[in-house]
Amino acid sequence: MFVLELTYTVPLDRVDGFMADHLTWVKAQYDAGVFVASGRKEPRDGGVILAVGDDRAAMEELVAGDPFSVAGVCEYRVTRFLATNVAAALEPYREKPSA
């Protein structure tokens, strides 16, 4: 699993100009089963996404295709973690650490 942290690099009015395209992209990732949760940070200086996967390079390639990334209005911090403890609703995403 990954925590994808977005940090805006430009003023919000510029970010908002790409919001509709970004949200379309986010929905496509939910539809593909990659994203399991997302939302704005408070204060509104970016966002956070929880994503399913185990290939860091593939996840970095995915976020490079976000319209926010393409437009250069945000930077992503990609953090891989093993979800070894989860709520019952997230049981399908539980991971077992290797050795």
* pLDDT score of 38: 97
Report the percent of the chain where pLDDT is more than 90.
88
Q: Choose among 37, 35, 40: nearest CA to 12.
A: 40
pLDDT tens-digit map of 30-71: 999 999 999 999 999 999 999 999 999 999 999 999 999 999
Distance CA 68, CA 47 (A): 11
Confidence band of 99 (pLDDT split at 50, 70, 90) = low
pLDDT at 97: 78
